Amino acid sequence: MKILVKVPATTANLGPGFDALGLALNLWNETEFIAAEDRRIIVAIEGEGQGRLPTNAENLIVQTALQIYNLVKKPCTGLHIHCRNRIPIGSGLGSSSAALLTGMLGANALLGAPFTEEEILRLAIETEGHPDNVAPAMLGGLVASIVHDGRVISLKLPAKANRSPIHATVVLPDFDFPTVQARAILPKQVDRKDAIYNISRAVLVTEALRTGNLDLLGKAMSDMLHQPYRIPLIPGAQAAMEAARQAGAAAVALSGAGPSLIAFTAKQDPAIGIAMKRAFEQAGLSARIFELEPSYEGAEVTIV
C-alpha cells in the first residue's frame, strides 16, 4: 500500500496576529509512504532541503511517523519515504510544521487511521508547541487559534463567496534566522499600549483577509510585539518592506518569524517582488521570489 500526503506552506503571525493567526498558501510538499518489511527506514528527498535534510531516523517526518506508531503500540517494520519538497526550509513558510504533519498523517494512514483528523491536529500542535502554522496547514485557509483550559482551539474562518481576490508575494533572503533565535530576542513583558495596539489590529487583519478588503489590510497590518525586534536583525528587511509598499503592495509583514517577507496585493505584480529582492541584494543578500495564492484546502491524504 502506498500513501500520498500533501501539505501546504503557511504564513503565520500576519502582522499583529502573533502566535494566533495563520494562512495556508498554495505551495505544497508531496510525500509518498510505503510500509516495508525490511526493517529499514529510507528517505529520498527531491527539491527543497535535498542534500541538507537527514535521510534517516533523524528526519522530522520519520520522527513524527514513529511517534504515531509508538502511540498505537505497533512496531514499525520499515518505512520507505519519498519527499518532493517545494516549501523552503528555515523560511518562515512553515516547513517544519509541514514535515511534522506529513509524518503523522502518513503513519496514521498506513496504520488504518486509528486517529481522527482532529486528534492528529491536537497531537501536531502539542509537538510543535504553537498552533499558528500547524493549524492552517491541516485545515487550509485562514485560521485563528486560542488556548483554552490548556487546550488549543483552532477555527477556520470562512471567506465570503464574493470576496475580492488576494495574491501573496513572498521574498526569501538567503539569511539564516532560526525560529529559536527569533523567539529568544523577544521581550518577556510588553507595554499595555503595545498589547492594545496588536489586539485591535489583529481583529481587523482577520476581517480584511476573510473578506478580501486590502485597503483595511493595509491599515491594520502592523505590529508592536515581534517585528520591531526581528526586522532589524535581517539585513535589508526594513528597506524591502518599504520598497514593497512603494511598488504598490497593500500590506507587507514578516512571514512567521522570518526571514521571508510577505506582501499582499489584489493580483500578481512582478514589480513588487523585484523591488523587495533588490532591497535585499543592496544589503548583500541574494533572495528568491515566490508568487502565491491563499490555499483554502489543507492537508490531503490519498491511498494510491
| 175 and 148, same domain (yes or no) | no
On whether both 141 and 174 belong to a single domain, the answer is no
Q: Do 7 and 134 share a domain, yes or no?
A: yes
Residue 126 lies in a domain: yes
Q: Find the largest Cα–Cα distance for the chain.
A: 60
115: domain CATH number is 3.30.230.10
- Both 212 and 260 in a single domain? yes
Residue in the structure block whose three cell numbers are 504533519: 101
pLDDT at 114 (0 to 100): 97
Query: Does residue 286 sit in the same domain as residue 299?
Result: no
Closest among 91, 89, 65, 96 to 78, alpha carbons compared: 65
Of 71, 69, 130, nearest to 97 by C-alpha is 130
Same domain, 99 and 148: yes
pLDDT tens-digit profile of 159-201? 776 788 899 999 999 999 988 888 899 999 999 999 999 999 9
Q: What percent of the chain has pLDDT over 70?
A: 100
Beta strand 41-47 with 79-85 is: parallel
- Residue 285 lies inside a defined structural domain of this protein: yes
User: Rounded to whole angstroms, how far apart are CA atoms 76 and 66?
Assistant: 7
Mean pLDDT, residues 112-135 taken together: 93
The predicted pLDDT at position 163 comes to 80
Whether residue 36 sits in one domain with residue 99:
yes
* Shared-domain flag, residues 135 and 218: no
Q: Would you say residue 70 lies in a domain?
A: yes
Binned at pLDDT 50, 70 and 90, residue 254 comes out as very high
Predicted pLDDT of residue 4:
98
| Same domain as 206, residue 118 | no
Q: Is residue 253 part of a domain?
A: yes
Whether 8 and 147 map to the same domain: the answer is yes
Cα–Cα dist 191/87, whole Å? 35
Does 162 reside within a domain?
Answer: no
Q: Is the pLDDT of residue 55 over 80?
A: yes
Same domain, 151 and 106: yes
Within a domain: residue 67?
A: yes
* Same structural domain, 141 and 211: no
CA distance 249 to 261: 12
What is the tally of structural domains in the chain?
2
Check residue 1 and give its pLDDT. Answer: 83
pLDDT at 151 over 90: no
Note the pTM of the prediction, 2 decimals: 0.94
pLDDT at 300: 98
Structural domain span for residue 66: 2-157+295-303
Which amino acid does the sequence have at 136? P
CATH number (domain holding residue 266): 3.30.70.890
Distances, alpha carbon 263 to alpha carbons 77, 248, 302, in Å = 46, 9, 33
